[in-house]
Chain A
Amino acid sequence: MTHNELPLFYVFHFYFFGIVGIASAIAFVTRKSPVAAALWLVNTMFCLAAMYVLLDAQFIGAIQVLVYAGAIMVVFLFVIMLLNLGHASALSDARGMSGKLIAGLVGFAILAQVFALTRAHVPEALTLPENALANQFARSGAIAPLAGPLFKEYLLAFEVTSVLLLAAVVGAVVLGKRKERIRAH
């Protein structure tokens, strides 16, 4: 899609969700209370889901809401409330001046690098024709074009991911177990 052809409605919403997402992210890293921070992060993830939908990734947007905003952030909030961290402590947990300076420098360097990358030239031979993805989705639905490569070209990665999830489940249970109970056996 070239910029000129896009309707104003589309461009407005893309920028709207992008700016709201970045504002929420800034609020997220500056809040003292972990619960407030987590809720701002949820807001960022909703904005990202909206941007995915605008970028012809409707299914990814739905998964973003279900998995990230729905499941992962609920686990985070659950742990925050389980550990009773909800109250903003009297002392801020931010690092001192040197930490902020280093963070600023590193942030600036990374930002400069990524901006240099955004100016990189995209090889013509690799690019799809305009609106190819949207047309593909219009022809065969939003999920089938994703399922094809997932279960054919990337089948090995898919299977390895299932092993990874199993290992994560076992690891979480082992780590979460109380030590006293192990000694009692």
Chain B
Amino acid sequence: MLTESLFFSAVLFTIGVVGVLTRRNAIIIFMCVELMLNAVNLTFVAFAQVYGVAGQVFVFFVMTVAAAEAAVGLAIIIALFRHRQTVNLSNINLLKG
């Protein structure tokens, strides 16, 4: 099942990348990043079946980082929304030259 898992993981990761590049809603872009992390987790679990249990331990760390990232990122989005009343990234262009 290694090849099939890698196939599904690749497709999910690509959907996440395309989502990040095509959407402008900050929260949806953020959820696309979560989808990419999930795709990588699937790869880790699939390889754990072949290489040993360390891959499953790594998934723990990825999940912890994802949880921390979600907490901080959503706080940033809320702070941004207070300033601009929008989460549409085309309206948030302060750094644009």
Contact = CB atoms under 8 A, between A and B. Distances in A.
A3 interface: yes
B65 to A, nearest CB: 7
Contacts of B35: 25, 28, 41, 44
Interface residues of B, number: 68
B92 interface: no
Nearest to A17: B8
Interface in B21-53: 21-25, 27-28, 30-32, 34-35, 38, 41-42, 45-46, 48-53
Interface string B38-82: 100110011011111110110111011111111110111111011
A76 B21 contact: no
A150 B57 CA distance: 6
Interface residues of A, number: 82
Contacts of A157: 61
A83 B31 contact: no
A146 B64 contact: no
Interface of A: 1, 3, 6, 14-15, 18, 21-22, 25-26, 28-29, 34, 37-38, 41, 44-45, 48, 51-52, 54-57, 59-60, 63-64, 67-68, 71-72, 75-76, 79-80, 82-83, 85, 93-95, 99-100, 102-104, 106-107, 110-111, 114-115, 117-118, 122, 126-128, 132-133, 136, 145-146, 149-150, 153-154, 157, 161, 164-165, 167-169, 171-173, 175-176, 178
B23 A29 contact: yes
B78 A82 contact: yes
Contacts of A99: 21-22
A161 B9 CA distance: 25
B25 A72 contact: no
B72 A79 contact: no
A83 B13 contact: no
B41 A48 contact: yes
A72 B25 CA distance: 18
B79 A176 contact: yes
A165 B48 CA distance: 25
Contacts of B65: 161, 164
Contact of A107 (B17, B28, B81): B17
